[in-house]
Amino acid sequence: MNSPSLDKTRTVNGYLRKWWKESVIYQIYPRSFKDSNGDGIGDLPGIISKLDYIKDLGVDVIWLSPHFDSPNADNGYDIRDYRKVMTEFGTMADFDELLRGIKQRKLKLILDLVANHTSDEHPWFVASRQSKDNPYSDYYIWRAPKEGREPNDWISLFGGSAWKKDELRGEFYLHLFSEKQPDLNWDNQNVRSEVHDLMKFWLDKGIDGFRMDVIPFISKDQTFPNFPKSDSVRPEYIYAAGPKLHDYLQEMHREVLSKYDLMTVGEAFGVTLEQTPMLVDERRNELDMIFHFDLVRLDRDGWRWKPWTLPKFKAICKRFAQGLDVHSWLTVYLSNHDSPRPVSHFGDDSPEYRIPSAKMLATLLLTSKGTPFIYQGDELGMTNYHFTGIEQFDDIEAKNTWKAEVLTDRVSAEDLLDHFRKTSRDHSRTPMQWDDSPNAGFTTADKPWFAVNPNYQEINAKQAVADNNSIYKYYQALIQLRKNTPAFIYGDYDDIDPEHPSVFSYTRTLGSESYLVALNFSRDPISFPLPKGRKARSLVLSNTTTKEEANTELRLNPWDARIYRLSN
Ligand code: TEU
Ligand code: CA
């Protein structure tokens, strides 16, 4: 923490100080980040070549999406060997060099622990399906047919049943994701010990923690009741409420996490705000923080898109910023490898407003309450991709949903494509745009593994780093501001006008320091009255050239973002 006012304190505003509460985290999806050997696929040496770019942005921690050996049914979230680097990404020597480069730059590295399931090509599963009485038979969840059918009505989050009949073993196995991602049986102590051991393997190399993939799903009610009759409960809320989740996380904390100075962040699809302290209250010794999905999926109904409003968006932000006590910490994110690009999702990716709206969203991300996560390319204002046909999609979730919905004539191809154009995970997986050379400098191959967004000629890192008014430069300024302003980290949050249809304005207050953030989520110029008795003493940062020193009201331009120091 650069701020001198915090150097010596152990608690701030009632919060215990921790390095991961004061960090800004940058997520890398290795397949799409940088290709170093011309095979069209991103790799670890490619990341090494861009560590200075990441360091210069000002972030503190890198979250690396899975780099482990995988057949890539789900781009690495289907692990075949937890102790081997995926061949396309390089070697263990490359990993060791990457970690050295990260440490040399005083950055930290967290890895993606995918332990709810493995690949069906993992040796454990290959053995498990051979028979019902070998040492690996119970590493996964097998059930006999029930009246010749699936054991219950659970569905895969990628479409279709969550049960697959294995002809070799003659039983069904559970897969909450694709058929090539069989769920591990965490009720089996041997499975838990195997996971603890693989965690230690990487921790002993010197990594600084884990992002834990769908970790709340690991415990299942193994009587496997059907879904509750009311179809209002989405499957993820059932899957995230297993009976022994907290036992297994506390055991993991005892056996592994407590032995290292690390951070953990659980991907908590299906966990409510009310359930959050059970997972992250520091006195429970489970996880440090979790990702919620309420904000990034406020416009979602399963795979379907639905309209959203700013008051609804703000209500979610307020609920989370004010809904936890000092013993629980939050994450803040607007995107990752599973979501559309923020400037297309929540901003305005038109040529006229892409830059101000991307900066406006960055202002929200970096002045909110909770550890901010930046997804690769968002610092450039990368946009969604203009998909025109299902054949352009790579994501197994898109392909399986297409099979389950269109090939069964439940919905029309055009209808599903309309939704995918707004919601698909593939939007965030187009290659990072480094410069205006062919394939955006991502690869020298003629054909990258996935299509490069054709707007790379205007939107690329080379241009951004050279342009003082770029989104990248604005992210740099915001990150520095956050690090030098404890109020943005530990300060109280208050929404100034929750019902305003277009302006999101809130304060962050720590002791005598108080800041006002005003964000215009629209193309309309708006006059926004300041709260009674509060004067904006000085403009700290804005995404435009305005110098407006406000007293009683702000005249906000389209997609304006302003940060003012308030005088009490
Ligand atoms: O995601 C879990 C998950 O549920 C999200 O992918 C998303 O909510 C889902 O696509 C439903 O719309 C994690 C990883 O982040 C994701 O990339 C993996 O595909 C998934 O788990 C399985 O490992
Ligand atoms: Ca490569």
**Proximal ligand: closest to the CA of 424:** 1
The answer to which of 190-194, 233-237, 305-309, 543-547 has the lowest mean pLDDT is: 543-547
Domain ranges for the chain, please list them.
4-117+189-395+426-478, 118-183, 396-423, 492-567
Give yes or no for residue 112 CB within 6 A of ligand 1. no
In the CATH scheme, what is the code of domain 118-183? 3.90.400.10
CATH of 492-567, one of 3.20.20.140, 2.60.40.1180, 3.40.50.300, 2.30.30.30: 2.60.40.1180
The pLDDT assigned to 146 comes to 93
Could you tell me which residues come within 8 angstroms of residue 356 by beta carbon, excluding any fewer than 6 positions away?
543, 544, 557, 558, 559, 560, 561
Q: Whose CA is nearest to atom 7 of ligand 1?
A: 338
**Would you place residue 1 in the very low, low, confident or very high pLDDT band (cuts 50, 70, 90)?**
low
Q: Which atom of ligand 1 is nearest to the CA of 303?
A: 12
pLDDT in tens, 293-346: 999 999 999 899 999 999 999 999 999 999 999 999 999 999 999 999 999 999
**Would you place residue 544 in the very low, low, confident or very high pLDDT band (cuts 50, 70, 90)?**
confident
Could you tell me which residues come within 8 angstroms of residue 71 by beta carbon, excluding any fewer than 6 positions away?
78, 80, 119, 121, 180
Q: 232 pLDDT exceeds 80?
A: no
pLDDT in tens, 392-425: 999 999 999 999 999 999 999 999 999 999 999 9
The pLDDT assigned to 485 comes to 97
Beta strand 289-291 with 263-267 is parallel
**Would you place residue 532 in the very low, low, confident or very high pLDDT band (cuts 50, 70, 90)?**
confident
Give yes or no for residue 397 CB within 6 A of ligand 1. yes
**Would you place residue 527 in the very low, low, confident or very high pLDDT band (cuts 50, 70, 90)?**
very high
Give yes or no for residue 177 CB within 6 A of ligand 1. yes
CATH of 4-117+189-395+426-478, one of 3.40.50.10860, 3.40.50.10490, 3.40.630.30, 3.20.20.80: 3.20.20.80
pLDDT in tens, 470-506: 999 999 999 999 999 999 999 999 999 999 999 999 9
**Residue spans of beta strands (DSSP E) within 432-542:** 492-495, 503-510, 513-520, 526-529, 535-542
Mutation pick for ligand 1 pocket among 75, 111, 211, 213 (CB with most ligand atoms within 8 Å): 213
Angle between helix 189-203 and 245-255 (nearest 10)? 40
Q: What angle do CA 94, 262, 477 make, to 5 degrees?
A: 80
Give the pLDDT mean for 241-270. 98
Phi, psi for 66 (deg, rounded to 5): -50, 130
Cα separation, 517 vs 508, in Å, equals: 8
As a whole number of Å, the end-to-end CA separation of the chain is 26
Q: Write b or e for each residue in 353-366: b if 16 or more Cβ atoms lie within 10 A of its Cβ, otherwise e.
A: bbbbbbbbbbbbbb
Cα separation, 355 vs 104, in Å, equals: 33
Give yes or no for residue 78 CB within 6 A of ligand 1. no
Phi, psi for 331 (deg, rounded to 5): -110, 155
**Proximal ligand: closest to the CA of 217:** 1
Cα separation, 279 vs 52, in Å, equals: 35
The label of the residue with tokens 């054991």 reads: 151
Q: 542 has which bridge partners?
A: 562
Q: 189 has which bridge partners?
A: none
Give yes or no for residue 179 CB within 6 A of ligand 1. no
The pLDDT assigned to 401 comes to 93
**Residue spans of beta strands (DSSP E) within 213-315:** 263-267, 289-291, 300-301, 304-305
Q: 28 pLDDT exceeds 80?
A: yes
DSSP 8-state assignment for residue 425:
G
Q: Which two tokens stand for residue 57?
A: 């942005």
Q: Which atom of ligand 1 is nearest to the CA of 117?
A: 23
**Would you place residue 546 in the very low, low, confident or very high pLDDT band (cuts 50, 70, 90)?**
confident
In 3-state terms, what secondary structure has residue 384?
coil
Q: Is 179 a catalytic residue?
A: no
Cα separation, 152 vs 452, in Å, equals: 42
Q: 537 pLDDT exceeds 90?
A: no
Could you tell me which residues come within 8 angstroms of residue 440 by beta carbon, excluding any fewer than 6 positions away?
431, 432, 433, 434, 452, 453, 456, 460
Q: How many CA atoms lie within 13 A of 352 on its CB side?
A: 5
How many CB atoms within 10 Å of residue 554? 23
DSSP 8-state assignment for residue 461:
H
Catalytic annotation, pick one of 60, 69, 94, 267: 267
Beta strand 304-305 with 171-174 is unpaired
Q: Is 492 a catalytic residue?
A: no
Whole-prediction pTM value?
0.98
Give the pLDDT mean for 35-54. 98
**Residue spans of beta strands (DSSP E) within 334-391:** 371-375
pLDDT in tens, 161-216: 999 999 999 999 999 999 999 999 999 999 999 999 999 999 999 999 999 999 99
The pLDDT assigned to 3 comes to 65
The pLDDT assigned to 547 comes to 73
Q: Whose CA is nearest to atom 14 of ligand 1?
A: 213
The pLDDT assigned to 229 comes to 83
